[in-house]
Amino acid sequence: GKTIEIALVGNPNCGKTSIFNFASGSNEKVGNYSGVTVDIKKSTFSYKGYRFNLYDLPGTYSLSAYSPEEIYVREHIRLQMPDIVINVVDATNMERNLYLTTQLMHLDVKVVMALNMFDEFQQRGDQLDYRHLSKMLGIPIIPTVGSKGKGLTALFDKVISVFEDRAHDYRSVRVNFGQFLEDSIGKVDDCIKQNNDLSVEIPPRYLAIKLLEHDKEYIKLLKKAGFTEILDLAEKERDRIEDETREDAETVFTDARYGFIAGALRETYKENPVIRRKVT
């Protein structure tokens, strides 16, 4: 049969290891990830005639270059090139969890979302039109309860169908950063594309955004490889953004991502009007 390489990606404590354990029949410890070393688990099992190679990656809130976990996850995606990323999302904490999703959307990888903690979400009585959200994100969404193994059959069926769907355009939906930022992204993106050897390894638009955000690791990588033209242009465009907005460029992009998420949730999410919870 065919082999599908799958990476579990999500915030800490969203249920990745629970899903991993249920799927693989293993007995890894669940609980807070607090190690200094980045250690990942791999499991291989058969499902409906496919061989699944499943990786349980460390929890991350973003894909910036600020922590070893974040660098590990994005390097795993860049170098291992999983066929499918399962983005595990805590349904009780959509806004924060979707931040990582907006980063995955630019990585040119096929994503299937496990809308986990769905039991807790339902107990709250909130409502989420996840089918609509799925269309807005361009990502299939399957509700799951990782700790009980619920929804995992539907999740892995979806993994197979997305894997087999050659026509599936996983680049169809992207965060639109608005004309001002898109102008800068476009220029850097074009410059990267002119260097073919670079754009095969890292999706050009994703790299353009990261360079504009002053991502230390990618800047180091490009410096080492001698791509000064790209770096100079990115710096010029970053200055333009910071002069105009009077903010740090990374903050500008972060705000734009949260703006996109807020817009998507405004259209799809309704809090239970009866129960008013205390925000902690």
* Minimum CB distance to K ion, residue 13 (Å): 4
Residue 39 lies near ligand GDP (rule: CB under 6 A): no
> Which residues, 6+ apart, have CB-to-CB distance to 59 below 8 Å?
10, 11, 12, 13, 14, 16, 33, 69
Does residue 25 bind ligand GDP (CB under 6 A)? no
Token reading at 21: 């354990």
Which of the residues 42 through 81 are near ligand GDP (CB under 6 A)? 59
Strand pairing report for 3-10 and 41-47: unpaired
From the CB of 60, what's the least distance to Mg ion, in Å? Answer: 11
Residue in this structure with the two tokens 């990745």, named with its chain if needed: 16
Q: Does 33 participate in binding K ion (rule CB under 5 A)?
A: yes
Contact pattern from residue 12 through residue 51 relative to Mg ion, giving x for each residue in contact according to CB under 5 A and a dash for the rest: ----xx----------------------------------
Say whether residue 13 binds K ion (CB under 5 A). Answer: yes
How many residues belong to the site for ligand GDP (CB under 6 A)? 19
Cα distance between residue 219 and residue 224, in whole Å: 9
Tell me whether residue 61 or residue 269 sits nearer to ligand GDP (CB atom): 61
- Under the criterion CB under 6 A, does residue 14 sit at the interface with ligand GDP? yes
For the four alpha carbons of 211, 217, 218 and 221, in that order, the dihedral sign comes to positive
Q: Is 87 in the site for ligand GDP (CB under 6 A)?
A: no
Give the residue from 84, 136, 75 showing the smallest Cα distance to 114.
84
> What does 54-103 look like in DSSP terms, one character per residue?
EEEPPP-S--SSSSHHHHHHHHHHHHH--SEEEEEEEGGGHHHHHHHHHH
The annotation status of 145 as a binding-site residue, yes or no, is no
Query: In this structure, are residues 231 and 211 in contact, taking their beta carbons and an 8 Å threshold?
Result: yes
Partner in contact with 117, chosen from ligand GDP, K ion, Mg ion, none, beta carbon below 5 to 8 Å by kind:
ligand GDP
Instruction: Consult the annotation and say whether 119 binds a ligand.
Output: yes
The site for K ion (CB under 5 A) is made up of 13, 32-33
Binding site residues for Mg(2+), as ranges? 21, 24-25
Binding site residues for GTP, as ranges? 10-17, 35-39, 56-59, 116-119
